[in-house]
Structure formats: structure tokens, C-alpha cells
Structure 1
Amino acid sequence: MTATTTEQDFTTLVEPLRRELLAHCYRMTGSLHDAEDALQETYLRAWRAIDRFEARSSVRTWMYRIATNTCLTHLEGRSRRPLPTGLGAPAADPAHEPLPERSVAWLEPLPDAVVWSGPPSDPAAEAVTRDSVRLAFVAALQHLTAQQRAVLLLRDVLEWSAAETAQALGLTVAGVNSTLQRARAHVGRRDPDRQDSLDDERRRRLLDAYVDAFESYDIDGIVALMTQDVVWEMPPYPQWYRGRADVAALIGTWCPAKGPGAMRLLPTAANGQPAFGVYLRGDDGVHRAFQLAVLDLGAEAITHATVWFGVEHLTACGLPAELAAAAEPAAG
């Protein structure tokens, strides 16, 4: 570029990359808010350096290099963002009241709307695949060092060569290869390959049944849609639960909803997975944002539910903070 590069020139070059760079920063940081901050800093660094860009690599490669190193700087001295299952504690007893832990910086969901504004015209050409932001994968990344995350993402997600990765991170090729080997081993233990074979019709029926069961407050119906060894976790609560019986006991004992109509669900998507905004009816009859549930679907049933509390998670998905009251049936 030349010393006369304008802001409009810069925007034309880099703006098409915004969504995929945000997804990259999210995979690195485990937080939508941190990813947005890192992306803003990435664009600032790129603007300051644009007149030194000599086009020896593509603009995309150049921006990813800046974004990765921005995230590495951001992560210095910061603790990883876990999910409750990543803390190392065994499954909890649902007979005991779950208590929140606000001091932990928990892994956050990534609303699909942030990355995909609409269905792609060519799914094979997606810049960000749903598998690359899948919750279990991002959670597994949190168990790596920041440098291991960077190497794994550049090599396995962006498909850079070892030499390109080494140049971007200031490492040797041998160092990249050994780091990648350790990172793959860690991620493989925490995120084994999925066996998801639900076709679209069975997926739709399963999710429709999930909504019906929750809105009817049919606890037996809810857990019947889950595998026998289903996992349920709900940041900011560090407790997590395994198995249909314990999930049923948790909901039946500690959920503030009581009876049909107490909850309403709106469909959305996060981390490339089906999700629901859950609304709880207050004493005034208004349903207000309660939690965001992100589901993992197996071959026949729900295998994992991650539930975040807080209105901000629903509004980030484009959902309202509260729902209009249902219309009364007409008289007569």
C-alpha cells in the first residue's frame, strides 16, 4: 500500500473479513465480549500498519496474523474460560442447592447471528464452519495454552502450513509441529469425534418436542428426549449433572418454574448449534428472559445441554428481554 491509503480504502480491504475474524478471536478467547475488543484492537493495529503492507501475502492472511497476535497479547496473564465440566469436579448431587460462582470468567456462547447473517449461498464456501465454533471444541481449546490454541487454529482450522504458522507466531517449524502435536492430543481427549446422524426431519421433531415438554413443564417428557448419560451444566453455577434421573431431579427441585405455562421458549442458534431462549413468568404474568440453552444433539436424542443465565445472552442472539402477554381467546 502507499502512504496515501485512505480510510475508505482500508475499509474496503478489511471489512469483508469482519465476521470470520470475530469468530477467530472468539475461538482464541472464549468470550464474545473479549473477541469484540480484540477485533477492534486488530483493526486499529492494521490501520496503523496498512502503509507498510507490501502484499507479499493476502490481506486475509495478514489480518489473521494481526488478529492472532492481538489475542495472544490479550490473553497474557488471564485465566482460561471454563465450563463447569472443565473444572475437574465430579457430577453434583441434585439434592443439594446449586450455588453460583461469580468470580469465575466462564466460557460464553457465540450467537450464530454474529457470524452468519443468513444462510450461505454455498455451504462449502463458508469462511466459518459451524464445527469450528462448536461449543465442545471451543471449550476444549480453553484447556490449551494461548500459544497452543493459536497453533491449532492456524494449522487445523485455517489450514496454514507449518512454515506460515511459524512466521506468524515467531516460532520455528519444529516448534510449531511439536506444539500442534500436544494441542491435538489435549483437544482429542476432551472433544472426541461426534456421531451426529439426525436428519432434518428427526431434528425438527426432537426440538419441537423439547419446546412442548418445557412449556408444559413435563419433566419426564423433557428427560425422555435425552440420552441416558446426558450432561447438564449451567454457568455461572459450577455444579454439573449427569444422567436423566439427576437432570429430572435438578429441574423438579430447583427450577423456579412451577406448572404448565410458567416457561416459554423461543428458538435461536449459538455456536452453530440449536438453542432456545427460555422465558420465566413473573408474579405479574410477564415472561422475562431467564436463560439461554444450547443443545448438543446425538444420533437419537439430546446428549448435552449448556444453559447460561442472564438476559444479555438472549439479547445477544437477537431475542427480546421479555415477551408480550399471550392474547386472550375471543369471547363467544
Structure 2
Amino acid sequence: MSGDTLLEELGVSGLGEVDEAAFSELVERHRPELHVHCYRMLGSFEDAEDTVQETFLRAWRRRETFEGRSTLRAWLYRIATNACLDLLAKRRPEPATGGEVLWLQPYPDRLLDELPAGDADEPETVAVARETIELAYLVAVQHLAPRPRAVLILRDVQGWPAKDVAEFLGDSVNSVNSALQRARAGMREHLPAERQDWSGGEQDAGTRELVRRYTDASVATDVPALASMLRDDVRCSMPPTPGLYIGRDAVVKDWVDNGFEGMKGLRGVPTSVNRQPAVAFYLWQQREGAYLPLTIDVLRVTGGAITEIVTFHEDRFPRLGLPERLPADGTEPSSDGGAA
């Protein structure tokens, strides 16, 4: 709906004549896609939530400036993008380095399912939407400087014309095109080379079987079995804890050094986040008489092997729609079996 059509439908000459309830109804329909846009910009689910709220607050305060020359959606994207840039300038003046993003947070697939369908029948559009929400893409994009990052997301992910992006950012079209080329070069440097082989989105039977084996081996703390599923150059991280382990030997050594083999009382629940296979792990707590959230492993699968594991802490479970506890099932360890 164009801006003029929107104002005509409302029977007003500008948004300044719309009351707060009507204004809220108008902008809320854009919340899901704005939230994902801010998440791609920031890499943090919580920061995206805060920035969308800031976007709506700014929009309400500046509603008189919307006169129908653009769509409401474009106007909101402009405000949201600049709100993201303002937050990045304040909190993270420098982009990520070293291949890890300590502020990275997962995004629930259930919220991705709420996004407008758009050109759902276009395979390329569907592929772009899926691949640009996966964790490897988000890590790569966080290594770009903020303004080229904004240009890349607006042009290559959202598909906004260069003229619109220039207007959003207060730049020239030439400046936007130059920033886009720099951003694309940066992404080639930081993205895994085999991106076209990722098993994201709809998981095939082979990926589901691999996830099942990974879950079973993790619950059994069977390190050799887990190691057999890892590719030689596997990457493993646990944001916000610093440390990026690269290579099967380094990953396995970290598991052994941290006493994983002695852990008892695990249960695993297969799930998916960021359009990737994942496993939520729960640990038996004797005092609670239940399995409580521990960590969630998000997997990248390439060619039938695990090429990346990103582990998030238990505080992510509620946002991901995962159970807060699992009941006893008769297989709990004894009280001296290592569970607190």
C-alpha cells in the first residue's frame, strides 16, 4: 500500500492526525519483519527487540513527517535502520573480529514463521531469506562496518533499490553502490566457502538421522562417537563466552578438558532455530526432581558432517519456546550420579 493510498484510506492528510491506538495498529503489522531486520543488523535478539521499540517510539514522535511520499513500510525501515546504526555507534563502535561474535543470540523459528510470505513461490527469495538468518551469515555480517552492513542487508537481503537505500541513509546512490561492493567483498572473506551445501531450512532424512545420532551420543557422553560426526575443520563456540575452537582435535580436547565425559543425567530434545537443526539439552536436578535447561547446540551440517556447533546457555530456552523443565522418565541417575 502506497503512502498516499494509506492516508486516503484513513481519511487524513498526514499521520499527525491519527490517534495513538490507530497509529499502533498501523505500525504493529510491520513488527515481525522489522524485528528480523534489526536482528540481522545487530546479531542480538534482545537488542533487536529494544531497537524495534525505539523505532516505534521515534515513528510516533515524528509522525507528522510522514506525508505519503513513500510507503509506511519504507518509512519504518528508514527509522529502524538508523536506530540500529545509532545503537551500534553507542554500544559496539567496532565490528566483530576473529571469526566470533560474543553478543550473538539465536532466533526462534516460530517467530520466523510469522513473517509475511512475500514471494514465497520464488525459490531464490526463499533461499535468501533462509540463508541470511543462519548463524554463519550473521557472524559474517557482524564483521562488517555498520554502514556497509546496513547497505548489504537492505540491498541484498531486503531487495530495496539503491535509490531508496541512499534515501534511508542520507547518502548518494554512488556511495551506496560503493559500500555494497565493499560489503560483498567482506562477506566473501568471512562466509564459509561451501555455503551452497548447507543443510538449512527443510532438513532431509540424512540430516535428521545425523541429529538423532548426535543427540544420542551427547546424552551418552560418547566423545568418540561425537568426534566421528565432525568434519576435520569443524568450528565450535559458546557466546558470550570467549573462545573459538577450530578443527576436530581442538574441539574434542575442549570437551575432554571440561569434563564432558563425566557428565551424567542429560536429555536431548531435537529442535531448530535460525532455520538450522539444533538440540536442546537438559540436566537432571535431584532437588527439583526434573530435568532443567542446560544448553542448546545449533548445528551447521555440510555434506553429511557437522561443520559448526554454536552453543547457547539455558537463558535462551524461554524465548525459543522450549519447555522450562522435563519431567522424570524413570531413567534418572542415582543421587550420587553427578547431577546437582
- Deviation of 1:220 after TM superposition, in Å, equals 1.3
Is the 1:21–1:39 Cα contact (8 Å) retained in structure 2? yes
For residue 254 of structure 1, what is the aligned residue in structure 2? 258
Match of 1:323 among 326, 332, 337: 326
For residue 70 of structure 1, what is the aligned residue in structure 2? 83
**Against the structure 1 CA distance between its residues 302 and 129, is the aligned structure 2 distance closer, same or farther, given a 3 Å change threshold?**
same
**Against the structure 1 CA distance between its residues 301 and 4, is the aligned structure 2 distance closer, same or farther, given a 3 Å change threshold?**
same
> Aligned partners of 2:32 and 2:53: how far apart in 1?
12
1:273 is the counterpart of 2:276: yes
1:217-232 equivalences under 5 Å are: 217-232=221-236
Is the 2:39–2:45 Cα contact (8 Å) retained in structure 1? yes
- Deviation of 1:274 after TM superposition, in Å, equals 1.4
For residue 4 of structure 2, what is the aligned residue in structure 1? none
What does the per-residue CA deviation read over 1:267-308, in whole Å, with 9 as the maximum and x for residues that have no partner? 222222112211123454642211121111102111100112
**Against the structure 1 CA distance between its residues 306 and 201, is the aligned structure 2 distance closer, same or farther, given a 3 Å change threshold?**
same
Is the 1:292–1:307 Cα contact (8 Å) retained in structure 2? yes
> Aligned partners of 2:88 and 2:96: how far apart in 1?
14
For residue 337 of structure 2, what is the aligned residue in structure 1? none
> Aligned partners of 2:329 and 2:300: how far apart in 1?
30
> Aligned partners of 2:25 and 2:165: how far apart in 1?
26
For residue 194 of structure 1, what is the aligned residue in structure 2? 195
**Against the structure 1 CA distance between its residues 287 and 118, is the aligned structure 2 distance closer, same or farther, given a 3 Å change threshold?**
farther
> Aligned partners of 1:120 and 1:172: how far apart in 2?
31
Match of 2:108 among 107, 111, 115: 111
Match of 2:100 among 83, 86, 101: 86
TM-score by length of 1: 0.84
Mean CA deviation greater in 4-13 or 269-278:
4-13
SS of 2:175's equivalent? helix
Across the aligned residues of Structure 1 and Structure 2, the Cα RMSD in angstroms comes to 2.7
> Aligned partners of 1:271 and 1:81: how far apart in 2?
21
What does the per-residue CA deviation read over 1:123-153, in whole Å, with 9 as the maximum and x for residues that have no partner? 4478982212111111111111111111111
SS of 1:77's equivalent? helix
SS of 2:292's equivalent? strand
SS of 2:68's equivalent? coil
For residue 152 of structure 2, what is the aligned residue in structure 1? 152
Structure 1: runs of 5 or more not aligned: 88-104
- Deviation of 1:84 after TM superposition, in Å, equals 6.8
- Deviation of 1:243 after TM superposition, in Å, equals 2.5
For residue 240 of structure 1, what is the aligned residue in structure 2? 244
What does the per-residue CA deviation read over 1:9-52, in whole Å, with 9 as the maximum and x for residues that have no partner? 32342222211100101111111111101000111122233343
> Aligned partners of 1:300 and 1:286: how far apart in 2?
34
Is the 1:81–1:107 Cα contact (8 Å) retained in structure 2? no
For residue 49 of structure 1, what is the aligned residue in structure 2? 62
For residue 336 of structure 2, what is the aligned residue in structure 1? none
Amino acid of the residue matched to residue 41 of structure 2? M
SS of 2:17's equivalent? coil
SS of 2:69's equivalent? coil
> Aligned partners of 2:318 and 2:91: how far apart in 1?
27
> Aligned partners of 1:305 and 1:14: how far apart in 2?
37
Is the 1:84–1:235 Cα contact (8 Å) retained in structure 2? no
Match of 1:27 among 40, 45, 51: 40
For residue 163 of structure 1, what is the aligned residue in structure 2? 163
Is the 1:140–1:190 Cα contact (8 Å) retained in structure 2? yes
What does the per-residue CA deviation read over 1:45-69, in whole Å, with 9 as the maximum and x for residues that have no partner? 2223334322222222111111101
Amino acid of the residue matched to residue 209 of structure 1? R
Q: Percent identity?
A: 39
Amino acid of the residue matched to residue 194 of structure 1? R
> Aligned partners of 1:113 and 1:85: how far apart in 2?
28
Is the 1:31–1:108 Cα contact (8 Å) retained in structure 2? yes
